[in-house]
Structure 1
């Protein structure tokens, strides 16, 4: 019956209406089990279909009246023991991006997981420093208390001995373990770096092994704030949305392409005071070839079931050089997304020079050609086709609308204001105009990809 409302964007629209109305979010399945004493064991399946409202789905059931009137599809498990969403068996012969002997990349990572975003991530570098210093002071105060108490304190009963006021501190597993060990923290200004918090949304991040729940291999791929690297980021196995890929210079928050995986161009070998940068893939052409293939609509559709269950595998295609070329051009476009000129025909009206944004919006839900930037600025003539460029289930344009608004976290009370990110008052307006162009140019470049033909 579909109805999974934990998805976003196009995938959410495909899932259609909530089966049980307000409050229901899960996919609903009707299972009919028949016990007839025979040795005939079969599984029959029917998918209600895409883009149907709740009423559409219920009307279909009413019209069918009986299971005998439904067009069932008999299904058998494949070699992977998949009953539905079966995978292409030949696909398994292609080299994977990582984790096997014939992998294309040496290592992969999951990106940054903080479990306390409001404290360690912010559009303002000054506010990140202030918030982190406050939390470290509060944490160290709690450790001082613990040192005077019984040694029988562990993670399970820690909350009985420390403050649980989330306006002072945000606890998670790594921080609790450090507190039980009576391990104190010191603030380090050199731990602030620029990260990609969400697609096309940069924020300042305080990266530290205890204050971030998981940093995994990030120090190996991006050891210092001024490190130089490139990352092909993908939505990993288990994603509820259609497959996505986005290249960045910055470390990506795992939730940006949830559940995110990244494949760095380089690895840093740290020895003493020196960081030696070595290849994590054979060469640049292979790197951009991967990026080109991952953007192929045919690839994404043909191997959609595989991409939801495991790391991508990359076939050797005819016209490989063209995939390398388009991959490079896509990478250049996505890496320099802030610097694109306004798309021809898109214009904006300014009643007064006020570029401060609170929350952008469309005049109406389906009026996509217009965005009200603020009370003084309206952007017009946005091509509706631009919304077809989707990253992690949401059009790139909608990521800008969603992320670039003033928000106050209810638990911590911390405000995150995108107007504080840049000294350029027009930064957010120009960013929105640039991402419209990025969306259109991405679609054009994808259309330039040659025919998807696997070399036998």
Structure 2
């Protein structure tokens, strides 16, 4: 971006041409919406040859043998041809993804100049998206789960009607930037680690003051990661001379990865970014009644998914930059509980599906629809660029089916530790002591995925293949558990992570069986939902949300 800006400034308001061979992620990344708009405003013609080659997207060969996609961009300012100001004409040509790098270079050599390229004229949408293939216009007419303006204006009484959203607020997942220090399967181990790091941090503040408060913080602070792990925010707290002390109240339950509960030290200093979780789960009591729907943030590359949790969620729980939509919010002391679904949305649903519809029904409906395979497939490109928009179903039976499935899925995903264990076959080596057979070091799934080496002396067989259809991000639920529940040592800090429980040696074995049950049942429920609800149930009629059906009375929030 800086080089494009620099080159454009060299024209100094006159006509001319800018040309770069560069990374072409700006073509379709939502983070570059404003950049694309500016290019279209400042030039009269834009030409882009998309050579692709992004290794993360598996798109053919790369002309430079690098990991990122490559493109040739030619920006032309020729105002003599334009009678009035308008956005640039955008000419686009995409080289075949399947070609290898040398073949792509040969194609360019044979073309010789831009006149011999068959250009496609792009028509950007309202968000200045150039590549609109796969985007569906009706998506924007559905009900937005949330938006930044509504979140920032949550104290406004008519936030739902004003911004036309289902939820008043939502939050990024918790971000520590020092997971090995701030998370642990053992509460007692977490206490030891946290106390040690807090002592080091407070000592560094004192040492910095005694040294005359030097401005070069990066080179001053202790860089030994066996004693402390710094982040930008922690350094800011040091400069403000903000000392802290350990408190047991900050030891909280959290879901670090899917079906992977850990203890988290959660406070305003040791946690790099808390998000809005201090008002979502202000204390342990709120975990008994509140539920959060976690979805990917914008620009996700791992595929869409969602997961309901009743504890603090990590930012990278399974999706990139997880966004979390709670049912309740509170004051920071745990009082003043409020429902997070807007009254405006409730009235809209009641107008469509009857006065008996509750906010819990809407919450379950949203969770059910987000699991719908046709919804995910149809709007997969939209979901990369925007938070979900939720259609109102036309059919009452379809709505009730979606609510029912969403309720069952949510109950099972939140309370996965209480579901029945799947009847898997245990193949044991009797020569290995029973206690050793229960201890996990690193589990390994067989190539055919029908069995799992659980430990030395124990193999789990008879794994149903349909359980791998339940995916969260780029892994199945079972594969997430296999990945997370292993003994490992962090090379930088030397901290060991051990998921085995001395007080409950069978926990991981039980968890494997329960997650298989959850996976199989989820696949069944999703298939049931796909049969009961189809795209025709929401595409037959566009929902007009331009006018509020009824005024909304929403109590002010902190």
TM-score class, shorter: 0.7 to 0.9
Asked whether the 8 Å contact 2:54–2:62 carries over to 1, the reply is: no
Unpaired stretches in structure 1, ≥5 consecutive residues: 7-11
Distance 1:47 1:250, change over 3 A: farther
Q: Name the structure 1 match of 2:411.
A: 332
Instruction: Write the distance in 2 (CA, Å) between the matches of 1:80 and 1:42.
Output: 15
1:17 is displaced (CA, Å) by 7.6
Asked if 1:390 is matched to 2:451, the reply is no
Residue 203 (structure 1) aligned to one of 262, 287, 298: 262
1:181 is displaced (CA, Å) by 1.7
Asked whether the 8 Å contact 1:342–1:437 carries over to 2, the reply is: yes
Instruction: Write the distance in 2 (CA, Å) between the matches of 1:338 and 1:385.
Output: 20
Residue 166 (structure 1) aligned to one of 213, 218, 225: 225
Q: Name the structure 2 match of 1:302.
A: 378
Distance 1:325 1:63, change over 3 A: farther
Instruction: Write the distance in 1 (CA, Å) between the matches of 2:75 and 2:245.
Output: 64
1:81 is displaced (CA, Å) by 2.3
Instruction: Write the distance in 2 (CA, Å) between the matches of 1:162 and 1:32.
Output: 44
Residue 291 (structure 1) aligned to one of 367, 372, 375: 367
1:64 is displaced (CA, Å) by 8.2
Instruction: Write the distance in 1 (CA, Å) between the matches of 2:169 and 2:184.
Output: 29
Asked if 1:260 is matched to 2:322, the reply is yes
Q: Name the structure 1 match of 2:481.
A: 400
Residue 527 (structure 2) aligned to one of 434, 447, 451: 447
Instruction: Find the residue that maps to 2:279 and give its secondary structure.
Output: helix
Q: Name the structure 2 match of 1:94.
A: 142
Instruction: Write the distance in 1 (CA, Å) between the matches of 2:118 and 2:412.
Output: 46
Residue 124 (structure 2) aligned to one of 74, 77, 98: 77
Instruction: Find the residue that maps to 1:194 and give its secondary structure.
Output: strand
Asked whether the 8 Å contact 1:192–1:225 carries over to 2, the reply is: no
Instruction: Write the distance in 2 (CA, Å) between the matches of 1:85 and 1:333.
Output: 37
Instruction: Find the residue that maps to 2:316 and give its secondary structure.
Output: helix
CA RMSD of aligned residues (A): 3.0
Distance 1:293 1:60, change over 3 A: farther
1:431 is displaced (CA, Å) by 1.0
CA deviation profile, 1:148-176 (whole Å, cap 9, x unmatched):
1224x34xx11333211111111111211
Instruction: Write the distance in 1 (CA, Å) between the matches of 2:302 and 2:103.
Output: 26
Instruction: Find the residue that maps to 1:275 and give its secondary structure.
Output: coil
Q: Name the structure 2 match of 1:134.
A: 196
User: Normalising by the residue count of structure 1, what TM-score does the alignment of the two structures yield?
Assistant: 0.86
Asked if 1:363 is matched to 2:442, the reply is no
Q: Name the structure 1 match of 2:339.
A: 279
Instruction: Write the distance in 2 (CA, Å) between the matches of 1:58 and 1:371.
Output: 40
Alignment of 1:179-218 (within 5 A): 179-218=238-277
Instruction: Find the residue that maps to 1:254 and give its secondary structure.
Output: coil
CA deviation profile, 1:242-290 (whole Å, cap 9, x unmatched):
111000011100111221100001011346xx61211111510010000
CA deviation profile, 1:164-203 (whole Å, cap 9, x unmatched):
1111111111211111122211100111011000111111
Instruction: Write the distance in 2 (CA, Å) between the matches of 1:47 and 1:388.
Output: 33
Unpaired stretches in structure 2, ≥5 consecutive residues: 1-50, 82-87, 151-162, 347-358, 542-558
Instruction: Write the distance in 2 (CA, Å) between the matches of 1:145 and 1:58.
Output: 55
CA deviation profile, 1:81-113 (whole Å, cap 9, x unmatched):
222244322221222111241110111010210
1:401 is displaced (CA, Å) by 1.2
Asked whether the 8 Å contact 1:194–1:202 carries over to 2, the reply is: yes
Instruction: Find the residue that maps to 2:391 and give its secondary structure.
Output: coil
Instruction: Find the residue that maps to 2:285 and give its secondary structure.
Output: coil
1:336 is displaced (CA, Å) by 2.0
Distance 1:342 1:74, change over 3 A: farther
Asked if 1:424 is matched to 2:504, the reply is yes
Instruction: Write the distance in 2 (CA, Å) between the matches of 1:195 and 1:350.
Output: 33
Q: Name the structure 2 match of 1:378.
A: 459
Instruction: Write the distance in 1 (CA, Å) between the matches of 2:204 and 2:101.
Output: 55
Instruction: Write the distance in 1 (CA, Å) between the matches of 2:130 and 2:377.
Output: 18
Asked whether the 8 Å contact 2:278–2:332 carries over to 1, the reply is: no
Instruction: Write the distance in 1 (CA, Å) between the matches of 2:280 and 2:200.
Output: 31
Instruction: Write the distance in 2 (CA, Å) between the matches of 1:67 and 1:376.
Output: 64
Instruction: Find the residue that maps to 2:376 and give its secondary structure.
Output: helix
